[in-house]
Structure 1
Amino acid sequence: MSLLLAASLVFQGLAILLLGRIAWTDFSTQRISNRDVLLLLCLGLGALQFQALQAHSWLEMGIGAFGGLALFLALFPFWLLRKIGAGDVKLMSVTPFLIGGSSLAVFSILLLVFAVATAAVVKNPFLLPAGMFRHYVQHLDRKGVVPFGVPISAAAICTIALQMYHAIVVATSSGILEQLN
């Protein structure tokens, strides 16, 4: 495994940990800090930089930048209308830098699945077993707040984990083939 791939995997692993923290913080306080989003942007840019140096192509980073800008411009009016939080808009705008351009379709499908599941849990808290958790979700429903950072983070975590798995499989299979020749 090359040093660039290892560094990229470390950055992606740190991004997964930070996304978990963001999801928990958004769920418990309905806030996503600017510091966490900025750190996530730096980790994503670093991982994309290492991947670009290894692949000798900057296309992933360019598509990620375009996707981030497009998401920000598309979601900004919803923030102005108070339909989505500012932290959610910033987190969605940073996500393409984390996952790159080639995985945006996978991320979108996973985001749809996790967003529908989150909305179903918030609207139907009787599906949940624990009374305290059910009470908390009912409180969120009364306030009209849905912690959208949770499905965004979950979809990004799954997408990054798939990318890491694919990178490790490709690296180990190419190493095995080189050893056989």
Structure 2
Amino acid sequence: MSPLLAVSLLFKALAIPLLARIAWTDFKTQKISNPEVLLLFCLGVGSLQLISVQAGSWWDMGLSAIAGLLLFVVLFPLWALRKLGAGDVKLMAIIPFVIGGTGLAFFSILLLLFALATAAIIRFPFMLPEGAFRIYVQHLDRKGVVPFGVPISFAAICTIVLVLTNSVYAHV
């Protein structure tokens, strides 16, 4: 394994605890901070640049940039209509840089599944066991808030783990 690929995989691995922190913070406060999103963006761009230099092709970087711009343009009106939070829009716009263009399809499928599960949990909290978590979810339902950063982060973490394992097994 080349040093460029190793550092690129390290950047992706460092994104996992950051995504977990974003998910937890969004769940607790319904806010995603700009410094965390910016750090995640820097890790993603750094990883993509290292992969692009090693491969000699900027295709993955270009695909990620197009996907990120497209996501931002599509989701921005939802923020303007107050259907989605600004942090969620920014997080979705940078996720293609973090996972890379090759993981976008897998990420999309996982995001759909995790978003449906989150919506079901928020919408039907009585299905959860008794306790503080159920009460908190009922509170979110009453407020009409869904912490969408949680399914985004979980889908991204699972995609990064898949990309990391594929890369490690391909270069062993």
TM-score band, normalised by the shorter chain?
over 0.9
Matching residue of 1:140 = 140
TM-score between the two structures when normalised by the length of structure 1:
0.93
Matching residue of 2:155 = 155
SS in 2 for 1:64: helix
Which ranges of 4 or more aligned residues in structure 1 deviate by more than 4 Å?
Answer: none
Q: How does 1:77-156 map to 2 (within 5 A)?
A: 77-156=77-156
Matching residue of 1:175 = none
The percentage of counterpart residues that share the same residue type is 65
Provide the rounded CA distance (Å) in 1 between the counterparts of 2:31 and 2:104. 25
Letter in 2 for 1:38: L
Matching residue of 2:164 = 164
Number of matched pairs: 172
Q: RMSD of aligned C-alpha atoms?
A: 0.7
Matching residue of 1:69 = 69
The unaligned stretches of length 5 or more in structure 2 are none
Using the TM superposition, give the Cα deviation of residue 51 of structure 1 relative to its aligned residue in structure 2, in angstroms. Answer: 1.0
1:101-153 CA-partner distances (Å, limit 9, x unpaired): 12111110000000000001111112222411000000000000000000000
Letter in 2 for 1:62: G
The unaligned stretches of length 5 or more in structure 1 are 173-181
SS in 1 for 2:171: helix
SS in 2 for 1:102: helix
TM-score between the two structures when normalised by the length of structure 2:
0.98
Bigger-Rg structure (1/2)? 1
Provide the rounded CA distance (Å) in 2 between the counterparts of 1:137 and 1:11. 33
